[in-house]
Amino acid sequence: MKFVTLADVRAAAGRMEGVVLRTPLLSSLTDTGRSLWLKPESFQPIGAFKLRGAMNAIACLDAERRACGVIAYSSGNHAQAVAYAAKRYGIPAVIVMPDVAPRIKAEATRAYGAEVVEVPIGEHEATAHALAVERGLTLIPPYDDATVVAGQGTVGLEIAEDLPDVDVVLVPVSGGGLASGVGVAVKALRPQAQVIGIEPELAADTAEGLRLGHQVDWSVADRARTIADGLRAQPSELTFAHLRKVLDGMVTVGEDEIRAAVRALARRARLIAEPSGAVTTAACLFHSHELPPGKTVAIVSGGNIDPALLATLLA
Amino acid sequence: MKFVTLADVRAAAGRMEGVVLRTPLLSSLTDTGRSLWLKPESFQPIGAFKLRGAMNAIACLDAERRACGVIAYSSGNHAQAVAYAAKRYGIPAVIVMPDVAPRIKAEATRAYGAEVVEVPIGEHEATAHALAVERGLTLIPPYDDATVVAGQGTVGLEIAEDLPDVDVVLVPVSGGGLASGVGVAVKALRPQAQVIGIEPELAADTAEGLRLGHQVDWSVADRARTIADGLRAQPSELTFAHLRKVLDGMVTVGEDEIRAAVRALARRARLIAEPSGAVTTAACLFHSHELPPGKTVAIVSGGNIDPALLATLLA
């Protein structure tokens, strides 16, 4: 297996300039007893880090193939990321979504100019593969791809550049693209820093897998229990291998802790985070004793939360 | 009268490094039909731009006088700004607040190490002046001070540096410290840019005053009607003179427009803004035809909104 390198991440950074925001580090929630900075990927144009991987993946296609267009299956942030990135390249994009996805997600994806194909749940992956062949489109995977991992790794590159003496980086883990890329970049630039993956207890397949030393398979139904809807995937062979190599540990957080972290980010850091983006903050607030000491960056991976849910959590 | 200069603003910028956040420009709400960037001062450590002026004012005191401590009267963001800045300098701070101010504001100010003196409403200004003399403290005014204006002007300096071809800068107007400083910096660095002040219709004393060519006095009761509680002050002689010189126009926004702008910022830009901080966005959303065309920056001046109010606006 070929591992993603710091050079790959650096190259990715060069390919997304002017489209992806270099998010700031915000010093915040200092009453957690640690020096804590938040990295708010919620401010990317689509509201989540996923744009980084999509931009790099599309940039890495050869020009002829790219011009034919791209396709992705997702009902979440990856859908909007691919749609947005394709629009920036002026190429066609098709997004296959389960027809049970909230209408607002299909609308948002169409607003970026993508064609949305809605199919019964469970069929979207197969439909995407079939349509890719039929129409000559290139499939952009959500995480099982070296160019996607390298793209997400630019989050780690920016952290290491902006806080060169960082001690601890907290990163949400789902399919593992973000955690893999961030780990590669941070460990290359600051080997003594510890990169800790954060999962919901209800979707802690990676914590279990790393403990056992091999991938484990949690049922979709089990993983669907968490409110953190962006953390219900599990790593591929590629990302699991990266996680084994670059993560220094895993910490899991409870559902009430995730809700409290969304609330704390809004009330005290004036940040709107989706539950998946708030798990790293939940770890700082409720599991600080399980984390290494020192200067800590918590990646707030996205901000696409249903306003009604946010209202409920704030009230 | 001595006007604040670009050199004053540049000097102020040098005095706040490491304390004040250089806030990013966030490309957002592009469906308003203009190229729009938000400048989120909500991410300053105290949640509002006021920290800039307080830091510069305290930095400009001679060391002996500074060591004796500072005092301010405010129930809003200026209170926390002075408390926080004083703490960074390791000097005593006394904040005089009306005893009707929300308990949470006094708590937040005490959390920064300041002594909070609560007095009956209407007496806080006189009390502050008396205590200043009695205890040898220096009063830090919220806006009627050249060092405060220069400090707030660093917002404009950053805008001109980060978007050198900016065409339009939208800035909330209350006491006029922010608008004066931003105007000085932007007009010096980018003379062809237009700096437009934004006020609530219900506290539009400056719009009226600039139209008439002299200051006008709206009653406190009139100005208190707006939900934008940070925009209920009116300029001093110093700031009004600056506003006459540096503003290219004023636009006023309605109360429902302010509420809708808070909602739009949360839902679509994932930003938590207080009503006062949302007036510039309200101008873009509902008064675009009254604004000059071109690349526009809307200053989101603060994010200290009551969570219950935010929840109501989101639901």
User: In this complex, which of A27, A307, A315 lies closest to B266 when CB atoms are compared?
Assistant: A307
Calculate how close chain A gets to B209, using CA atoms only, in Å: 34
| Same domain as B160, residue B261 | yes
φ, ψ at A307 (rounded to 5°): -55, -35
Calculate how close chain B gets to A223, using CA atoms only, in Å: 26
Q: Answer yes or no: do A307 and B45 touch at CB < 8 A.
A: no
- Which residue from A minimizes the CA distance to B23? A24
> Where is the domain boundary, B104, B139, B174?
B139
User: Chain B contacts of A303, Cβ < 8 Å?
Assistant: 270
User: Which domain covers residue B233, as residue numbers?
Assistant: 6-48+146-314
- Which residue from A minimizes the CA distance to B267? A307
The count of other CB atoms within 10 Å of the CB of residue B194 is 20
pLDDT-derived band of residue B3, with 50, 70 and 90 as boundaries? very high
φ, ψ at A297 (rounded to 5°): -115, 125
DSSP percent split of chain A into helix, strand, coil, nearest 5: 50, 15, 35
Q: Is the pLDDT of residue A85 over 80?
A: yes
CB pairs under 8 A between A and B: 64
Q: Is the pLDDT of residue B108 over 90?
A: no
| Same domain as A301, residue A154 | yes
- Determine the pLDDT at residue B100: 79
Q: Which residues of A are part of the catalytic machinery?
A: 50, 301
Asked whether A170 and A199 are in contact (CB, 8 A), the reply is no
SS3 B24: coil
| Same domain as B292, residue B215 | yes
Mean pLDDT computed over A265-285: 96
Question: What gap in Å lies between CA B257 and CA B56, rounded to an integer?
Answer: 34
- Determine the pLDDT at residue A133: 96
CA angle (B14, B19, B21) in 5-degree steps = 90
Non-local (6+) Cβ contacts of A135 within 8 A are A68, A69, A71, A94
Is A135 within the bounds of a domain? yes
Is B129 within the bounds of a domain? yes
> Where is the domain boundary, B108, B139, B170?
B139
Mean pLDDT computed over A39-63: 97
Question: What gap in Å lies between CA B156 and CA B161, rounded to an integer?
Answer: 9
Mean pLDDT computed over B106-126: 90
| Same domain as A264, residue A158 | yes
The tally of domains found in chain A comes to 2
pLDDT-derived band of residue B121, with 50, 70 and 90 as boundaries? confident
Mean pLDDT computed over A65-69: 97
Is A236 within the bounds of a domain? yes
In CATH, what number is assigned to the domain containing residue B196?
A: 3.40.50.1100
- Which residue from B minimizes the CA distance to A18? B27
> Where is the domain boundary, A89, A119, A139?
A139
- Determine the pLDDT at residue B10: 98
For B203, counting Cβ atoms within 10 Å of its Cβ (0-12 exposed, 13-18 middle, 19+ buried), the class is buried
Calculate how close chain B gets to A58, using CA atoms only, in Å: 22
Is B1 within the bounds of a domain? no
| Same domain as B131, residue B20 | no
- B3 touches A at CB < 8 Å: no
Beta bridge partners of A90: none
Non-local (6+) Cβ contacts of A215 within 8 A are A209, A234, A235, A237, A240
pLDDT-derived band of residue A235, with 50, 70 and 90 as boundaries? very high
Question: What gap in Å lies between CA A172 and CA A253, rounded to an integer?
Answer: 11
* Mean pLDDT, rounded, of chain B: 95
| Same domain as B296, residue B171 | yes
- Which residue from A minimizes the CA distance to B111? A31
| Same domain as B275, residue B260 | yes
Mean pLDDT computed over A263-291: 96
Over residues B128-178, the pLDDT tens digits come to 999 999 999 999 999 999 999 999 999 999 999 999 999 999 999 999 999
Is B122 within the bounds of a domain? yes
| Same domain as A222, residue A115 | no
Over residues A9-22, the pLDDT tens digits come to 999 999 999 899 99
Q: Is the pLDDT of residue B301 over 90?
A: yes
- Determine the pLDDT at residue A106: 86
| Same domain as B102, residue B157 | no
Non-local (6+) Cβ contacts of B112 within 8 A are B46, B80, B83, B84, B86, B87, B93
φ, ψ at B214 (rounded to 5°): -150, 160
β-pairing verdict for A26-27 and A36-40: antiparallel
Cα–Cα distance list, B138 to A115, A193, B20, B91, B122 (Å): 63, 44, 22, 11, 21
Q: For the whole model, what pTM was predicted?
A: 0.93
Q: Is the pLDDT of residue B239 over 90?
A: yes
Is A202 within the bounds of a domain? yes
Tell me the angle at which helices A307-314 and B255-268 cross, rounded to the nearest 10 degrees.
Answer: 110
- Determine the pLDDT at residue A29: 85
| Same domain as B159, residue B275 | yes
Q: Answer yes or no: do B271 and A272 touch at CB < 8 A.
A: yes
- Determine the pLDDT at residue B127: 95
pLDDT-derived band of residue A297, with 50, 70 and 90 as boundaries? very high
Structure-model confidence comparison of residues A50 and A101, the more confident one? A50
| Same domain as B122, residue B194 | no
- Determine the pLDDT at residue A151: 98
User: Chain B contacts of A311, Cβ < 8 Å?
Assistant: 310-312, 314-315
- Determine the pLDDT at residue A67: 97
Over residues B202-212, the pLDDT tens digits come to 999 999 999 99
Asked whether A231 and A204 are in contact (CB, 8 A), the reply is no
User: Chain A contacts of B310, Cβ < 8 Å?
Assistant: 266, 311, 314
Q: Is the pLDDT of residue A121 over 90?
A: no
CA atoms within 13 A on the CB side of B6: 12
User: Chain B contacts of A27, Cβ < 8 Å?
Assistant: 21, 45
Mean pLDDT computed over A142-149: 97
Is B154 within the bounds of a domain? yes
Q: Answer yes or no: do B314 and A308 touch at CB < 8 A.
A: yes
Handedness of CA B137, B142, B144, B149 (dihedral sign): positive
Calculate how close chain B gets to A206, using CA atoms only, in Å: 29
